[in-house]
Amino acid sequence: MQLYNNLSAKERAKLIEEAGKDRLTISFYKYAKIGNPEIFRNHMFLAWDELEVLGRIYVANEGINAQLSVPAENFNAFKNHLDTITFLENVRLNIAVEQDNFSFLKLKVKVRSKILADGLNDATFDVTNKGEHVNAERFNELIEDPNTVLVDMRNHYETEIGHFKNAITPDVDTFRESLPIIEDDLKEHKEDKNLVMYCTGGIRCEKASAYYKHRGFKNVFQLEGGIINYVHQVNEEGLDNKFIGKNFVFDDRRAERISDDIIAQCHQCGKPADTHTNCANEACHLLFIQCDDCKEKMENCCSSTCQEIIQLPYEEQKALRRGQGNSNDIFKKGRADYLPYKKDLRNIFDTLGKNA
């Protein structure tokens, strides 16, 4: 029974290119009680590997979180397989706004303690007791209501390149950081404000909506299907698009352009830019924003030190990496001290409801 990838990412990319067939980038999640995640994981891997599905999927006792790429010609077979699983029947599938045949190059189905790390240890918290889901039209109405507080449940490097107008964008590195910060800053408004949340595809704000209901917030809403589904609805129904900039995504595309607005700046020169780069030095791989001019000048590197390292023979680079752990800088994602135009820290709750 094969439960691993036979091909490397490079080999898979070559096969995809040679096949010349379109693939669909899809994401979905479902909170549900899975008794044996290991058995469920093995079943999913075997079924999806046969359909040439690639992607990154997490399975846990609390459900499944999947970002993947499937051959367009196998989409119906993929959907039919999902429908054979009781809690995944008719699950909402978020189809990417912008397609890329190389968004994923391996199939990875991993068992985790949770599909979304939240830092919570509360046996009374029921993640399925979620807030009210709203579609794009209702979402637009709610966020125009002066009695609404709109909160972006994503991390700082995501909101830096794009967010909804007038959204509060917590300056956090992880989802788990945002939960207590938001609760503390909005504790005086548990009953008198509409708490409206959104994220990329819905998984973060769904758990957050259940958490804030658990903590006593009365009027809790979340954008159904997140930004991805919102954009499809806006385009299909001719609604006003309230999102500005790019939507950060967790595959090799890194972002989808939603509006023509560029709201971020190059972390190296300060010019308007909203394209993320992973530093070319394999010992670094810092994620940061880089304009085309700096990309060419710095050879996809975040610093002159990394630029010097990538000029060395590959074996010398490997020797330098040997025994070295990841630098804490990579977890800062654009906040490394040596980036002169990194995003400034600020108190995003100083003025409730104003654009962060």
Active-site residue numbers?
A: 199
CA dist., res. 84 & res. 79, Å (int): 9
Q: What tokens appear for 121 in the block?
A: 């240890």
Q: Helix (H, G, I), strand (E, B), or coil: what is residue 329?
A: helix
Give me the helices (H) in 238-303, please. 292-298
Phi/psi class of residue 175: alpha, beta or left (left: φ > 0; alpha: ψ in -120 to 50)?
A: alpha
Instruction: Quote the Cα angle for 38-42-45, to 5°.
Output: 135
Tokens matching residue 127: 């993640």
Token pair belonging to 230: 């919102």
In contact, 195 and 212? CB cutoff 8 Å = yes
The CA-based angle 115-247-163, given to 5 degrees, is 100
* Residue 313 neighbours by CB under 8 Å, 6+ apart: none
